[in-house]
Amino acid sequence: MRKQNDLYTQFTAFVETKGLMASTQEQYLRQIRHLARYYPGKPLEHITERQLSDYLMHRRDEQEVRPGTLRQTLVAIRCLYCDLLGKDWRLLHEFELHPNKPLAEHSTTSPSPSKSTSPTHRDRPLGYRDYPDPLTYDHPYLCMKQFAELLALRYDCLRTRHAYYRQLNLLQRHFSCDPQTLTEEQVRDYLLFLKFEKQWKPKTIRQAVACLKCFFEGLLKQEPWEVFSQISTRDHDTVPVVLSRQQVHDLINSIRLRRYRTPIKLIYCCGLRLSECLSLTIHDIQSNEGKLRIRQGKGLKDRMVPIAQAMLEDLRVYYRFHRHHSLIFPNVGRGIQHGRQLSLRMKNASMPMPHSSLQRLLVAAREELQIPDATVHTLRHSFATHLIEKGASLHVVQRILGHKSIDTTMRYLHVTHQSQEDTLGLIENLCHGLPR
């Protein structure tokens, strides 16, 4: 890329002001030059979020660069587009990295599920959405490195540590200074900015408050700040989007490829979360008992869910196609999408199917059927609602879904069509025969 490019020159000067090591600055510049070569003749400032997504997926899936290099690419692109150009692109904060290593040493034959070969929590795949460990980040300030270490000591869940560190990083980028130098008044202004200008949802604001309280009071040992006790955020009373049984049937029927239809169907038939479905292994199926073991669900909790025999047969047919040594839904990868080459590629896959594959597919299906607001998680809501409509106990549905509180499960009482029809019938009876 020609050095006289105006944006590249600005970025070079901008990186120098960040106080990074000379080798790190050169790595950032090299990553941006690589991006420019991928889109020859297109100015860097005209590259869209979608094109960045395609480029990152090319680096991850086709070139198969190492996780550290891919993370370095992502950080350099964030520095250019978010920090310098002020873009607020969600992709750059949520792009899925993945370790480029096999799951385990294995033979070409598929192991039979047994107690001795069953994976533990430590070595089982956690799905394609790999949250990077904050300890491995290139920390702009020492206090942020110390915060990453504190999070590692306090929280086992990598997703939680990633989310908390991201909140602190957003604060640091907002003020462009060392976060430990901020005052309570500045933090109050920042929270007001999140609530009224960014219009964050209450749950996300609570996460930001919890992170900042952990940083300022837990790490820096500040006296308790009044702002953290002043802020109050209540969740909006919204009911989940639920599809009718016919809509679910039409949605699944519109997905023509078995490799995508089977996991979508399993999510509905067992009420699974997307990550729980895609990280399933052959060791998690207990065919004789008609049960599915969900390991490390939300809150790192295990649970057992019932599975229909018809769904088990679908999984057997699906598994016979690829015969992966462990995964039920291995990554399809890129290349020929049918026949023996596809089967072999799935058999040798090192990671489960990425979340985005099913998410994009369902968006396309719902647009084709003109079903508004349907997502993969909508199938889980629909599963719970349809069970309650058929008379299933709330406590049974709570155990199947893995809800900690029965109040969470009770949301589905507000959207059951059967309960609404029964209530309408009672109202009609009450009004019948009254004087007019």
The Cα 244–Cα 364 span in angstroms is: 19
- The residue assigned the tokens 């920390």 is 139
Burial label for 157, CB within 10 Å (0-12, 13-18, 19+), is: middle
The Cα 273–Cα 290 span in angstroms is: 19
DSSP β-ladder status, 303-306 and 291-294:
antiparallel
CB contact set of 296 (below 8 Å; sequence gap of 6+): 121, 124, 126, 279, 302
144: helix, strand or coil? helix
The Cα 390–Cα 386 span in angstroms is: 6
Amino acid at 243: L
Q: Catalytic residues, which ones? A: 273, 298, 377, 380, 403, 412
- 3-class secondary structure per residue, 301-343: CCEEEECCHHHHHHHHHHHHHHCCCCECCECCCCCCCCHHHHH
Q: Which strands form 303-306's sheet, in the order they lie side by side?
A: 285-286, 291-294, 303-306
Name the phi and psi angles at 297, rounded to 5. -75, -160
CA dihedral over 201, 166, 143, 86, signed as positive or negative: negative
The Cα 201–Cα 198 span in angstroms is: 9
- 3-class secondary structure per residue, 69-130: HHHHHHHHHHHHHHHHCCCCCCHHHHCCECCCCCCCCCCCCCCCCCCCCCCCCCCCCCCCCE
